[in-house]
Amino acid sequence: MPTRKQEILGAALALADEAGLDAVTMRAVAARVGITPMALYRHVADKGALLDGVLDAAVEGVRPPDPALPWEERLRRLADDVRAAGRRHPTVIGLAFSRPGQTPALRRLVGVIQGALAEAGVPEDQHARLERMISTFVVGFIVSEVSGRFPEGVEPFFTREYHADVADILGLVRAAAATSA
């Protein structure tokens, strides 16, 4: 059974999916879950915390890939799963560019990326930079997809492009690892 906070964040995510982020107000979320706006503050500190929670809820279902898989496959699967989550919640995924990204689900995903980078042999002092590059590419591609940057009817082309871009990023990770060898 979800906690009251999870119920609130789920309602806020549903509201964002239905009506966009501008509709996600403390008053609207409180009304949706049947409490007063002031009662909402026991569960989320402010609008920023509410938005962080909405983003976290959007990616909560992304599970870390099996750690027994090779690092390349783990990064590929994680990117694909985040892409799928972003496509399910198109109005929310752009928050990843405007929020600090310190939520539990996002920290978990960053940990998966950094673990794969370590396994690939990338020097530790390059993990944060490469994680940002990978995350920015994946989220940026999703935002481009869901915001209409790509023309209608060319989905197969851009899916191929996305997979080719992920392959290029894996090549950059290999190159970063090779420079430390």
Same domain assignment for residues 52 and 88:
no
Same domain assignment for residues 79 and 120:
yes
Quote the pTM value. Answer: 0.91
Helix axes of 155-180 and 127-146: crossing angle, nearest 10 degrees: 170
3-state secondary structure 110-137: HHHHHHHHHHHCCCHHHHHHHHHHHHHH
Q: Which residue has the tokens 């752009």?
A: 94
Q: Is the pLDDT of residue 181 over 70?
A: no
Query: Quick one: pLDDT at residue 132?
Result: 94
Same domain assignment for residues 36 and 114:
no
Same domain assignment for residues 88 and 142:
yes
How many residues comprise the chain? 181
Same domain assignment for residues 9 and 35:
yes
Structural domain containing residue 39: 4-58
Same domain assignment for residues 113 and 48:
no
pLDDT digit string, tens, across residues 127-171:
999 999 999 999 999 998 888 787 777 777 788 889 999 999 999
Domain CATH for 32 = 1.10.10.60
Same domain assignment for residues 103 and 167:
yes
